Amino acid sequence: MSALNVVLPFCSSVLSFAFAAMVLDQWWQRRHSFQLVWGIGLFWYGISAGTEFMGSAFGWSEPLYRTWYLIGAFFVAAYLGMGTIYLLAKSRFGYFAGAMVLLGGLLSLVFSQSSRYPGAGTAGRLTFVVALIGGVAIIAATALRRPLAAHIAMAVLAIGSVSVAYMVLNASLPAPGYALDSSTHVPVGSAFPGYVRVLTGPFNIAGALCLVFGALYSAYVYMPKKRVLPARLMALAIVVNFVVSIPAAVPALFAGRLNSRVPATILIAVGAFIPGLTSGLDRFGVTWSFFLGEFLGLVLIFAGFLVSEEVFRNVRLGATLWSRAPSASREREVG
């Protein structure tokens, strides 16, 4: 066992809980839904990393392994992504969120047909149908009554969370009740039956993509823009205009004219991408980077939240520790 297998999850867990406390304290002050859901997501992050620390330091057990898989594979990315959906509830981001739920369901269906997940066919088809209904509902709400889309997505997530919790906690596991990589001793999900493992798509994949691309979308909204393509082209316009606007954003950053949310959300996007990548590699047997990616990603997300005055105008742990004055102008035009 490597010492890093103990140190990195321990640091991730402590930072996650402290971070969650700060975000929930911000929610207590300002009562924004995205802060509450992000706080819950960070609390899940702390528990997941805590199980990794406990398992690496004192030995794995079946209850610890089940808790790790349920929270790490299903809850962390899903609730952090859900917080982003609430943050952008007044925008057209619901179209993307609904599409990602659909994509997650489609990937579950595809994975269920693989020989890697025997006996997962029915679970994959059922997951796809539920994701299809949920994704379409989110997209329809975005078109007809935009603020309702986030609440629909939260309802889908809550129902899904209860369902997968029942399945994970009751799945039959072969002895010794957990699975570790033989070389790195990092936990892997292979002890769970295929019908459980294919359920992660609408949770983990959709949540991570919403967190990453929601952060990039926020950066685009608040940065000085050079509009090459008209707004009516929607996603294509955002991608192209974002790329061509970057050269103007860099000098604005160093001149202090760039809204704090731009560098903040870019840090969050990179921080969300790293553990998403390393956890994906873990599924395919590349486990050496798992704990490292988890820690580095959290550090970058934490840095992004601290940079952004939109989220943290003051930092508190009961009493105010630090406050900032409002920044300069911001750009909100999209397209």
- Round the average pLDDT of the chain to a whole number and report it: 86
Gap between the Cα atoms of 196 and 321, Å rounded: 44
| DSSP secondary structure, 237-251, as one string | HHHHHHHHHHHHHHH
Cα dihedral 208, 219, 290, 19 in deg (nearest 10): -90
- Looking at 139-153, 254-268, 308-322, which range is the least confident one? 308-322
3-class DSSP state of 229: coil
Closest CA to 298 of 12, 2, 9, 81: 12
Gap between the Cα atoms of 254 and 270, Å rounded: 20
The predicted-structure confidence for 69-91, as pLDDT tens digits, reads as follows: 999 999 999 999 999 999 999 88
Answer yes or no: are the C-beta atoms of 218 and 205 closer than 8 Å.
no
pLDDT band at 293 (very low <50, low <70, confident <90, very high): very high
What is the per-residue pLDDT for 323? 55
Q: Mean pLDDT over residues 252-281, rounded?
A: 82
Asked if pLDDT for residue 334 goes beyond 50, the answer is no
Helix, strand, coil tally for the chain in percent (to 5):
70, 5, 25
pLDDT band at 335 (very low <50, low <70, confident <90, very high): very low
The answer to whether the predicted template modeling score (pTM) of the entire model surpasses 0.85 is yes
Answer yes or no: are the C-beta atoms of 160 and 138 closer than 8 Å.
no
156-187 burial, b at 16+ Cβ within 10 Å, e below that, comes to bbeebbeebeebbeeeebeeeebbbbeebebb
What is the per-residue pLDDT for 92? 87
pLDDT band at 216 (very low <50, low <70, confident <90, very high): confident
Closest CA to 117 of 60, 171, 65: 171
What is the per-residue pLDDT for 144? 92
Q: Mean pLDDT over residues 139-153, rounded?
A: 93
The predicted-structure confidence for 103-127, as pLDDT tens digits, reads as follows: 999 999 999 998 888 888 999 999 9
Rg (CA), the chain: 20
Gap between the Cα atoms of 96 and 31, Å rounded: 25
Every domain of the chain and the residues it spans: 4-223+259-319
